[in-house]
Amino acid sequence: MKLGYKTVKLRHKQYTWPEPDLKRNKGETMSNKIKYTTYLAGGMENVKKSEMVNHRDALEAELQSPDLFIYNPLRQEAEKVGSEPGEHIRYVQGLKRGGHWKQFFKEMWAIWFGTINPNTDLIQLLTALRMRRHIDGNVQEEAKYWGDAEAVVRSDFIIVHYPTSVKTVGTNWEMVFAMLFRIPIYLIIPDAPPTDANSTLLFGNMISNQQVNEINVYRSVNDCTKAIREKYKLS
């Protein structure tokens, strides 16, 4: 994809953007398009394994639908670094603690940006990836090449599980990406009323959902998934 004066590699293919006539990939049909895509955001590095897994398992179970592809970074990240889900966090932490910075950067880049060239302008990149979602749509088989950033900007909405006790940076990045592109954020704060949440967190939620009179915040996975099913008419 040509961004400014740069050409970058997305999913092992070269693209030029913008183009006057953007064609679908050869052999691609409407039948393998995903109607909706969502991303499951939440703490991973500084939490117990149960805090990484349980809410994502519950969300996947309650949102099962042929119309929805759920990108679970716990599994996707592990595949990118060749480890079991959860173990990949310890693997990356080990690289950091051992001072293996070159390999640390490589693995973190794969987690966040997949197969994209590390020299790419990130602002132009994220904009282009969002455009590809609108032009080409999403195909589930291609998700293995996505990094977490691409998965977020290709989503129709993201779901954020954010207990007040959790310390996370990655989740904040993901919410900023979503906010910049006005991708709706369904925010779950299970351990406190929304009025106790960080003000900037709630403000970003309002921007993402393009709402000025209310917030899109839930106390439980069940309440959140019920709202999503109703909104997107998931079968």
Q: Give pLDDT tens digits for 111-170.
A: 899 889 999 999 999 999 999 999 999 999 888 889 999 999 999 999 999 999 888 999
Q: Give pLDDT tens digits for 44-84.
A: 888 888 888 999 999 999 999 999 999 999 888 777 666 67
Domain region containing 168: 33-73+118-232
Helices (H) and strands (E) in the chain, counts: 9, 11
Structural domain contains residue 41: yes
Structural domain contains residue 155: yes
Structural domain contains residue 22: no
CB neighbour class for 234 (10 Å; exposed up to 12, middle 13-18, buried from 19): middle
**Stated pTM of the model:** 0.84
Contact assessment for residue 65 and residue 97, using Cβ atoms and an 8 Å cutoff: no
Structural domain contains residue 5: no
Strand residue runs (E) in the chain: 2-3, 6-7, 9-10, 13-14, 33-34, 36-42, 68-71, 138-139, 157-161, 185-188, 217-218
Give the confidence band of 235 by pLDDT, cuts at 50, 70, 90: confident
Structural domain contains residue 58: yes
Structural domain contains residue 7: no
Name the DSSP letter for residue 213.
Answer: S
Q: Give pLDDT tens digits for 201-230.
A: 999 999 999 999 999 999 999 999 999 999
Helix (H, G, I), strand (E, B) or coil at 158: strand
Contact assessment for residue 10 and residue 116, using Cβ atoms and an 8 Å cutoff: yes
In this predicted structure, what is the pLDDT of residue 79?
74
The strand pair at 185-188 and 157-161 is best described as: parallel
d(CA 15, CA 18): 9
Contact assessment for residue 85 and residue 160, using Cβ atoms and an 8 Å cutoff: no
Q: Among 6, 227, 30, which Cα is nearest to 121's?
A: 6
Number of compact structural domains in the chain: 1
d(CA 59, CA 173): 21
Structural domain contains residue 174: yes
HSE-CB of 38 using CA atoms within 13 angstroms: 25
CATH number of the domain encompassing residue 160: 3.40.50
In this predicted structure, what is the pLDDT of residue 3?
41
Contact assessment for residue 88 and residue 79, using Cβ atoms and an 8 Å cutoff: no
Structural domain contains residue 122: yes
